[in-house]
A and B are shown apart, each in its own frame.
Chain A
């Protein structure tokens, strides 16, 4: 019997995430840390395995090293499989031509042989820049029920923000009659989440067509989806009603981290029925010291907290010394906040050292924005980093 997988997932993880500035200097956006122990890519990967999809191609291009190392053989997500599992798909040289991935559609097209190896009936296209929990199996069931050639997951967004998204204009039965990429005057507020299920043979057909079209920008939203719609293929929307956040900007990344806090959080990562798997830090339990004051925060293993931590998310092995204050901040692993230092309304990438008496950022209410410190930098004793500042080098003050 021919071995096959009903559905193969292709995860677009090549994005640079340039709006995350210093946080993506050396890593791809999907590898950005989130929620004290996760990375963005943990969410689509966990969604896959929790939905019963165990074959995932991860398409990388920009700064793939750390992402590749993180995914490894896929074991933390139970994606180390004899047949299937997670595979990193990098741009490659072929006999006829060599090329970087030109657009989202081209990236998938160049890896057609990977998908075909599994003889799939359906292809699920995902992106690596969103925080959400979604059962793709339900979306696949809807795709089969409607008999669609392509199903696009969609979520309602505030109308004033709709022009930032690909907008779906649908009939009452959910079928799509128009697809508008970032329209100036949106007709609806139903936004594409960048999650597509295609009937495999249709996808392959349209990717071939798109590749042969010299005028195409090789993009799903701009080229492939409109081409399918124009040709009269059956396209349906699939309404998603849960939490979904594009963490492509500093403020949305910060907000999404804050959404984890509280007894009834906007987004719950401790749901036993939908575990978010990740590579776990090897660290002892966190130690909260005798002078510490920790409230409304999430703290990962290996932290040593002697100071004050409020409304913050601290990843593994962060040290907050006595007399230091961390407020409204996202602090990634290995950072050290020394005595008397104050960190407010900021995002600190890995291994940042804030020396004694230094201050980073300004109060959330000051209106100066979120301060961002890139990884491995040191803020000198007594130095003041202004609110909204973005630094990727050591800073000694002005």
Chain B
């Protein structure tokens, strides 16, 4: 793209949305879609939009994230200049690590000042979408905006513990901005901010510095809502497929949406989603395998029945087992004659022969990492 842009990804914000899956990992490294982690979508959007420097803001439990990202070469981000730059939390004797987005931004001012790009795209890891960020930066430029916030029209109330809704006027300028509004009803349209934002690097640095001097702590309350009339905040309507992971129910529902061809075409069709590779063998379907409407990753060995499921890498499904409407994560082993319905297993779960487990779509039965049943 013509203008130069640096990316910033928040890896931990929204961890509390799905505590089951983020207990031992960042939101960014929550597994999704058979062979991905949530950060792969945000990161691939950046790479596919021509961004070659991405700072990744971490806070805690980021070992799995570091393991996933490695040198960044899978995203073509192992670069001499830029590439992936991990930004661990800053703290000293008197300060604790950040508790808000604004404090986290204060902690990365050094990174931001040392870059030379014109614009900054800030993204969280709670959304799954194919977004051309260069379009959004161009829109930001054309409007001479101070801040551009990306939104998606929703009709279901948001279950996140922290979210922002936007009211744009006909020119796209945001005239109203609400944090955690309580009047959302099923079927009523509203514009959900999807946690992707563009600013000029200079504006962001100045904003952070003035926030420090005034002792502000919340980007949403102290900067966005207070200045909605004075700052030029624009909304960019993202009209493609967007899946926000705001709860376990969301996680389950959006995973299952991948079984729809239109969703897969939009997410994977015209571009690549990059992820860490593992050199697994291709998956094997044995005699007796019966697989319907499912996504199967490499390294799986299937001898039983699998219907309406997402199988991650290296999953085994034994003889006579029936696995339906379930998400089975990496290297989990389902023994023989097991019945599973609406189950989510985290990584390395073992379900022994002849066990039966079931949840429901609103409340899938979750089995935590490494459990043996």
Contacts and interface: CB of A to CB of B under 8 A. Distances in A.
Given A263-B303, A280-B277, A289 B292 contact: yes
Interface string A218-231: 00000000000000
Contacts of A260: 284
Given A288-B292, A288-B294, A276 B281 contact: yes
Contacts of A275: 279
Given A270-B281, A284-B34, A296 B286 contact: yes
B282 A299 contact: yes
B299 A276 contact: no
B53 to A, nearest CB: 21
B287 A296 contact: yes
A39 to B, nearest CB: 13
Q: Counting chain B CB atoms within 10 Å of each CB, which of A75, A280, A288 scores highest?
A: A288
A297 B274 contact: no
A131 interface: no
B268 A284 contact: yes
Interface SS of chain B: loop
Contact of B296 (A35, A262, A288): A288
B245 interface: no
A282 interface: yes
A87 interface: no
B301 to A, nearest CB: 8
B284 A294 contact: no
A277 B279 contact: yes
Interface residues of A, number: 36
B285 interface: yes
A277 B281 CA distance: 9
Q: Counting chain A CB atoms within 10 Å of each CB, which of B281, B292, B303 scores highest?
A: B281
Contacts of A295: 285-289
A262 B291 contact: no
B292 A290 contact: yes
Contacts of B285: 294-299, 309
Interface SS of chain A: loop
Contacts of B296: 285-288, 299
A283 B289 CA distance: 23
A153 B310 CA distance: 44
B295 A286 contact: yes
B296 to A, nearest CB: 5
Interface residues of B, number: 38
A341 interface: no
Interface string A288-331: 11101011111111000000010000010000000000000000
A292 B292 contact: yes
Nearest to A279: B277
Contacts of B274: 282
Contacts of B86: none
B133 to A, nearest CB: 19
Contacts of A276: 279, 281
B33 interface: yes
A37 interface: yes
Given A284-B33, A294-B289, 17 more contacts: A260-B284, A270-B284, A276-B279, A280-B279, A284-B273, A284-B295, A285-B295, A285-B310, A285-B311, A287-B296, A288-B293, A288-B306, A289-B292, A294-B291, A295-B287, A298-B285, A299-B296
CB-CB nearest 8 A-B residue pairs: A285-B34, A36-B282, A270-B281, A285-B297, A280-B277, A285-B295, A300-B282, A282-B272
15 contacts: A263-B303, A275-B279, A278-B279, A280-B277, A284-B264, A285-B297, A288-B291, A288-B293, A288-B295, A290-B292, A295-B287, A298-B284, A299-B282, A300-B283, A301-B298
